Amino acid sequence: MSRVGLIRLAVIAALIGALEFACQTGLINRRTIVPPSEMAVTLYKLLASGAINADIARTLGVIVVVIAFSIVLGFALGVLIHALPRVREALDPLFATYYAVPIFIFYPVLIAIFGLTIFPIVVIGVATAIVAMIIATLNGLDRVPRVLTKVARVHRLSRVSTALTLQLPAAAPYLFTGVKLSVSYGFIAVIAAEFILSPAGLGRDIADAYADFNNRRMYALILFLLIVATIVNAALHAFDMRWAERGSGGSP
């Protein structure tokens, strides 16, 4: 590992160590924060007992559905809008402001319309994640070099094989940026929706534990979600890095 990486690890370890020390010595009240070691032990017990399995399955399931839907539909819409320049020109200002307004505040309106089911959560998740994928698809298709379409014409490739063998690989890095943002946004929106108001799920679990003053359980669940989010983000980051390395190899 590089020197910078080691320092980073040391900084993180020192922060966690300081928190543990402050909690153990009573510098930080137990009713405010429980020691990190206790969070980990409680989380292990919760996972081993299987008490939160249903909520984990539900929340991660919703997140997967939201992300899959956003990526597939976002890509399709991106391709469609890219093919219609006049529509795109009209939609550009909308895309530019989309993430500048707190879309999430529509969640209560969605509950009023659809009732307190899983549906408003999926809708708010997709609404948050899909536009990043549409924008990334448009960006990617814009960056496909003109020469590639000319090559395709010279080789008399069909429309489909041009798309699959030339345009898609050329746009891939941008599409991956869209995937990364969709994953991150979908995750955040689903957890936030569950947390604010929902019939079940990990977000709801944390909110309930907070309301019951059950700090051990609350911190264990928070730790779980932070670990999952960090692993997902780290995996996407690692994939991105490998891609960047390969891209800087021989290709133009």
Residue 208 CB, shortest distance to other proteins, in Å, is: 11
113 touches other proteins (CB under 8 A)? yes
96 touches other proteins (CB under 8 A)? yes
104 touches other proteins (CB under 8 A)? yes
Three-state secondary structure call for residue 222: helix
- CB burial of 43-78 (b: ≥16 within 10 Å; e: otherwise) equals beebeeeeebeebbebbeebbebbbebbbeebbebb
Residue 192 CB, shortest distance to other proteins, in Å, is: 4
95 touches other proteins (CB under 8 A)? no
Six token digits for residue 109? 């309106």
- Find, among 226, 133, 231, the residue nearest to 182 by Cα: 133
Residue 17 CB, shortest distance to other proteins, in Å, is: 16
Please say which residue, 171 or 201, places its beta carbon nearer to other proteins: 201
39 touches other proteins (CB under 8 A)? no
In the Cβ-directed half-sphere of 166, how many Cα atoms lie within 13 Å?
A: 19
R_g of the chain computed on alpha carbons: 23
- CB burial of 206-228 (b: ≥16 within 10 Å; e: otherwise) equals bbebeeeeebbbbbbbbebbeeb
* Candidate residues 13, 57, 72, 226; the one interacting with other proteins per rule CB under 8 A: 226
Residue 153 CA to residue 232 CA, distance in Å, equals 40
- Fill in the per-residue mask, 182 to 201: x = in contact with other proteins (CB under 8 A), - = not in contact: --x--xx--xx--xxx----
127 touches other proteins (CB under 8 A)? no
- Provide the binding-site residues for other proteins, judged by CB under 8 A: 4, 7-8, 11-12, 31-33, 89-91, 93-94, 96-97, 99-102, 104-106, 108-109, 111-113, 184, 187-188, 191-192, 195-197, 203, 206-207, 209-210, 215, 218-219, 221-222, 225-226, 229-230, 233-234
